[in-house]
Amino acid sequence: MATNPGTVCAQPSSSGMRGVEDCLVLDIHTNSTNSSEASSPVMVWLHGGHYSTGSNQGISFKNLVAEGIVVVALNYRLSIFGFLCLGVADAPGNAGLKDVVAGLRWIKDNIKAFGGNPNNIVLFGHGSGAAMVDLITLQTHTRGLVHKAIAQSGSSLAPWAIAYEPVERAQLFGEKLNYSRKSNEELARTFVNTNLTALLTNLNGFKFTDNTPLFAPCLENPLLDSNDTFMTEAPIDVLRSGNYSKIPFITGYTTAEGSLRASEVIENDWLNKMQANFSQFLQPDLEFVNGSIRNETEASIRDRYFQNRIINMETITDYLEYHGDSMILISVIRGARERATNSPDQVRLYEFGYMGSYGQPWTLDTITLHGARHGRELDYLFGTTAQPRSLITDDTVSTSLVRRWTMFAHTGVPIALTAPGNASWPPFSATAMNCFVYSQPGTANGATENLKQDPHQSRMTYWCVGPHTAYIYGGGLSSIVDVQWVKRTIGFHET
């Protein structure tokens, strides 16, 4: 059953707008409504969409329900409605994340009526939904609401996961609506009183080359009411402090995450723009002492991915690799490393490289590309595409994914029990960086499941040990934001 299936939260779309403001519903999928037998694990799904778009429409959870799981798909407010952050009482930030926490509290109190075990709740999500999973599990006030977690192709350490200039972004949007030179309090009230259609239609057209969304989660003003605060500390600081629940945690990525930025090549001319001004494409979480260091870093990164070649269609694979690394892969593996330091035997990492019937080589402007695109594993987990499976290995991979995800929900260990899918998946740790791999037949001895050690070691060394380790959130984003809010609260306002 589902309480209100199909409701979509208000969001911008190609037609201008889509969805409704009154959208905070949850869909419950279960085979039982016997509260006396409330023993089924509960898997709570958070969709992706860069915090700006997306819904639970078109997703089937029947594969999971068939394995004795109660699935809940949560809605949360998006874009300006869910992530406007002005550091004032009317717009403190993180409304979308607070929606999820409220939903988790409801599930904790009511899921027994649907056959679910309130003491075995698994939060899982993809993309920005995965980053939200990560963020939620790091907060002390959410302890007891989530008992296991799966973050697919997203991390709280991703350069887009948290807003670095939330007020400036809100002001930028306000300027598009001719709301300029307003205080944060005035701007918050003005947005509230603006027509829904005007808000949504004007949200279109924002595309930042550093891969950040217009509105995103933020570190909240610590001077506001703490009872309504979701987050005031940077994720990396929380991870390194160890002050979070050490729950079983799965995270991973696909082999072609850069496909996220394939459409920008055609629609936004990003190859030519990147060739002309590479600096604009640097991720925002890098901190530079001065302009000289910034120039050196830019040259180093460009040489790492493109050498001395022109950035055009002939180097499209390098373009996709850069965006895949900077947006997803590096932060996912880095997050696994950080969690494993304080959560021994609780973290597992995967790499999804299987293409099969759903992911055969694809083309971009006549160029043939390979690899499992962003979100490809969802096709095998949920069966989200109508395209028929034509390969025996398609069923093997699908069965393995479903069994491992659901056995993780049941036991905390992603075992598949029986073939297909009987390869061992040991934990990821500082001394044994195990990575479970779904690979393409014909590679890795012809198997679809394999294990490898220390994935992408050279890339991780470059980004995390080399000259690019001065991440803002690694050097104290929390303190930077504290100063920002204090300045603004006592009357500081940039015009």
pLDDT of 416 over the 90 cut: no
Q: Which of 139, 474, 148, 123 is nearest to 330 (CA)?
A: 474
How many domains is the chain partitioned into structurally? 1
- Assigned domain for 16 exists: no
Residue 203 sits at the vertex; the CA angle it makes with 189 and 58, to the nearest 5 degrees, is 115
Range of the domain at 434: 26-489
Strand (E) or helix (H) holding 118: strand 116-126
Q: Strand ranges (DSSP E) for 130-269?
A: 148-152, 249-254
Contacts 24+ apart (CB under 8 A), 398-402: 398/63, 400/438, 400/448, 400/449, 401/377, 401/438, 402/63, 402/64, 402/67
- Give the pLDDT of residue 3: 52
pLDDT of 475 over the 50 cut: no
262 exposed, middle or buried (CB, 10 Å; 0-12, 13-18, 19+)? Answer: buried
Residue 479 confidence class, pLDDT cut points 50, 70, 90: very low
- Assigned domain for 12 exists: no
- Assigned domain for 114 exists: yes
What is d(CA 51, CA 272) in angstroms, rounded to the nearest whole number? 27
CATH number at residue 325: 3.40.50.1820
Token pair belonging to 41: 């694990």
- Assigned domain for 9 exists: no
> Cα-flanking dihedrals φ and ψ of residue 95, to 5°?
-60, -40
Across 31-35, 98-102, 294-298, the highest mean pLDDT is recorded for 98-102
Question: Is the separation of the CB atoms in 130 and 153 below 8 Å?
Answer: yes
Q: Which of 82, 80, 128 is nearest to 103 (CA)?
A: 82
In Å, how far are 25, 85, 173, 222 from 487, measured between CA atoms? 38, 15, 22, 12
- Give the pLDDT of residue 420: 55
Average pLDDT over residues 144-160: 98
Q: pTM for this one?
A: 0.93
Query: pLDDT digits over 171-214, tens only?
Result: 999 999 999 888 999 999 999 999 999 999 999 889 999 999 99
- Assigned domain for 2 exists: no
What is d(CA 475, CA 64) in angstroms, rounded to the nearest whole number? 41
- Assigned domain for 17 exists: no
Q: Which of 115, 205, 154 is nearest to 336 (CA)?
A: 154
Other C-beta atoms within 10 Å of 415: how many? 16
452 exposed, middle or buried (CB, 10 Å; 0-12, 13-18, 19+)? Answer: middle
- Assigned domain for 21 exists: no
What is d(CA 252, CA 437) in angstroms, rounded to the nearest whole number? 10
- Give the pLDDT of residue 374: 93
Q: Which of 352, 346, 421 is nearest to 149 (CA)?
A: 346
Q: What share of the chain in percent tops pLDDT 90?
A: 70
- Assigned domain for 411 exists: yes
Other C-beta atoms within 10 Å of 383: how many? 18
Q: Which has the minimum average pLDDT: 123-137, 191-205, 263-277, 281-295?
A: 281-295
Q: Which amino acid is at 226?
A: S
